[in-house]
Structure 1
Amino acid sequence: MPTIQIPSFLVNGNAEALGISALDRGLAYGDGVFRTFPVRHSQPVNWDLHYARLAADSAVLGIACPPAAQLLNDIQQLFDNAASAVCKIILTRGVGLRGYRPPDDVLVTRIVIRSVMPDYPPENVQHGVRLHLCQLRLSEQPALAGIKHLNRLENVLARMEWQDAALAEGLLLDAHDTAIECTSSNLFARFGDVVCTPDLSRCGVAGVTRSRILSRLPELGYQAEVAPLPLQRLLQADEVIICNSLYLAWQVVEVAGTHWQAQPLAAQLRLSLQE
């Protein structure tokens, strides 16, 4: 039998689509939202949480989020029974004429992309990771804080700051030298039995894995705290963790000339998140 060619993306459920309209507002203005998560054996991992965040982020922008069943059908079309792959869902407000004011009758564009799971170095789990301290500072916009909107130029510019493969991520601060997140990860710092994650009410992205960790910390014997995290306080932490939905949790062993010895929290979190 011939090998079935699995398409790498769908546009509005269409595997034959070659792209999106040049008039799409996602292209023109970054007018949309997205989510990225693993898919295993054709099943999206933690789908209910990711869909809930996608719908909530869409609501902030006034975009009609497609029904969960429709997106799940797209995923089923796109993903075979491979052990692990990555799904990215992009929703844009759709096609419109020139001008910032959205059309009244616009139809949402939905894009589902399949890609291979990144081949992370095993040393990241075994020995922890080093971070680049980014020079770029995140701007504050409370109206967009927390959501994964398509305007990610800050992250692009920050990621361009380093080429050293030994640096796994870049630490992002705001204009007040407060630690917010990494270029594609959320951030936690442990002080004794208190584990703090930065307040994201003014900028930053609230990831699903961040929320999962916050809910699981009490089960692991830690007090969860959401609060501003100045860089100098971060550097005094007993342990620093970064997380996202693909690799779950890594310990940070170096940033800005500060070093940490191996600690147990990252491994505890990975085990808890895998359950």
Structure 2
Amino acid sequence: MPMPQVPFDDRGLAYGDGVFETVLLRDGTPVLWDYHYARLRQGCQRLNIPLPPLEQLAAAWQSPAAAELEVLKLILTRGSGGRGYALPDALSPRLISRRVPFVANAQHWRQGVNVRICQLRLGHQPLLAGIKHLNRLENVLARQEWDDQTIAEGLLADTDGWLVEATSMNVFWQRNGELFTPELTQCGVAGTLRAALLDQGTVRESAIALDALRDVDRLWVANSVQGVWPVNTLLSETGEVLHAWSQADQDTLQVAGHQLLGYSLSSC
């Protein structure tokens, strides 16, 4: 399949002026689509970009599936035009998409992962908090902080030291039998799996400082494509082991998350 061509003056390319969604397809059907669509709609409202008709979005996955599992990426930019940062007189949003076969990392599900704390701190911008806009430079910079393949993710805090997210996943923890995820009112991406877990009451929002992570009973990173990864070891910015967790036989968060995604440990 030829790659879509983006004009030089596309505002998504020039300014990150747009939003995107990364959607798990199972047998050609989008998983958690209602949550992806709701976040896409919210992102368009925040940026004042017209939301494409649902039929136009659905055309991205209506061709025959190439594999049982695929990942679909939808990118919506404001389109071309305008002088500098000023908006064009007539908006013509540009929607491009790509889908590729996908294999989930079941080893991470079963064995857990190591994560590190990132040095980068996320800035506050409530107008952009929660949505998946195209300017992800903070995440790009954070991901450059390590190249150790034994480290699966990096945890990001805001400028006040509160845990927000991982570089490409949301974060969850357990304390005294309850499951929590950070509030995302100032920055961060509100993931669709996170939203579904909140809606069903499996987790609730709370705030936690980075230095309090050593005191939680369990820790996870998760998203709607990769599923739920239990954290084995938490490393500092300099690679020092801050805490290690043993994995429980029954993983309540993973069971709930994987039911929503259609993943099964026994089938992988």
| 2:140 aligned counterpart, secondary structure | helix
Query: Which of 43, 50, 63 matches 2:36?
Result: 50
CA distance in 2: counterparts of 1:66 and 1:267, whole angstroms: 34
CA distance in 1: counterparts of 2:153 and 2:103, whole angstroms: 14
CA distance in 1: counterparts of 2:149 and 2:261, whole angstroms: 27
Distance 1:238 1:35, change over 3 A: same
Counterpart residue identity of residue 227, structure 2: L
Query: Which of 231, 255, 258 matches 1:268?
Result: 255
Is 1:253 matched up with 2:232? yes
CA distance in 2: counterparts of 1:139 and 1:67, whole angstroms: 33
Q: TM-score, normalised by structure 2?
A: 0.89
| 2:154 aligned counterpart, secondary structure | strand
Indicate the residue corresponding to 2:180 in structure 1: 196
CA distance in 1: counterparts of 2:163 and 2:215, whole angstroms: 13
Q: Percent identity between the aligned chains?
A: 41
Structure 1 residues not aligned, in runs of 5+: 1-6, 10-17, 219-223
CA distance in 1: counterparts of 2:200 and 2:79, whole angstroms: 38
| 1:70 aligned counterpart, secondary structure | helix
CA distance in 2: counterparts of 1:44 and 1:91, whole angstroms: 17
Moved more, 178-187 or 44-53: 44-53
Query: Which of 115, 122, 125 matches 1:131?
Result: 115
Indicate the residue corresponding to 1:27 in structure 2: 13
Task: Give the total of aligned pairs.
Answer: 254
Indicate the residue corresponding to 1:233 in structure 2: 212
CA distance in 2: counterparts of 1:33 and 1:193, whole angstroms: 36
Contact 1:8 1:114 in 2 (8 A): no
Distance apart, 1:227 and its partner CA: 2.1
**1:1-275 to 2 correspondence within 5 Å?**
7=1, 18-77=4-63, 80-118=65-103, 120=105, 122-218=106-202, 224-256=203-235, 257-263=242-248, 264-274=251-261
| 2:89 aligned counterpart, secondary structure | coil
CA distance in 2: counterparts of 1:119 and 1:177, whole angstroms: 32
Contact 1:216 1:272 in 2 (8 A): no
Contact 1:75 1:112 in 2 (8 A): no
Once the two structures are superposed, residues 191-219 of structure 1 have per-residue CA deviations (whole angstroms, 9 ceiling, x without a partner) of 1122121111000000100011112344x
Contact 1:249 1:269 in 2 (8 A): no
Contact 1:35 1:54 in 2 (8 A): yes
- Say what the alpha-carbon RMSD is for the aligned residues: 1.7
Contact 1:40 1:84 in 2 (8 A): yes
CA distance in 1: counterparts of 2:116 and 2:101, whole angstroms: 25
Contact 2:220 2:230 in 1 (8 A): yes
Distance 1:51 1:8, change over 3 A: farther
CA distance in 1: counterparts of 2:232 and 2:94, whole angstroms: 41
| 1:241 aligned counterpart, secondary structure | strand
Distance apart, 1:233 and its partner CA: 2.2
Distance apart, 1:176 and its partner CA: 1.6
Distance apart, 1:51 and its partner CA: 1.2
Q: TM-score, normalised by structure 1?
A: 0.87
Distance apart, 1:8 and its partner CA: 5.9
Contact 2:22 2:72 in 1 (8 A): yes
Distance apart, 1:41 and its partner CA: 1.7
| 2:60 aligned counterpart, secondary structure | helix
Distance apart, 1:242 and its partner CA: 1.1
Once the two structures are superposed, residues 50-94 of structure 1 have per-residue CA deviations (whole angstroms, 9 ceiling, x without a partner) of 1121111111100011011111113214x5352111001010000
Distance apart, 1:271 and its partner CA: 4.1
Distance 1:55 1:130, change over 3 A: same
Contact 1:250 1:266 in 2 (8 A): no
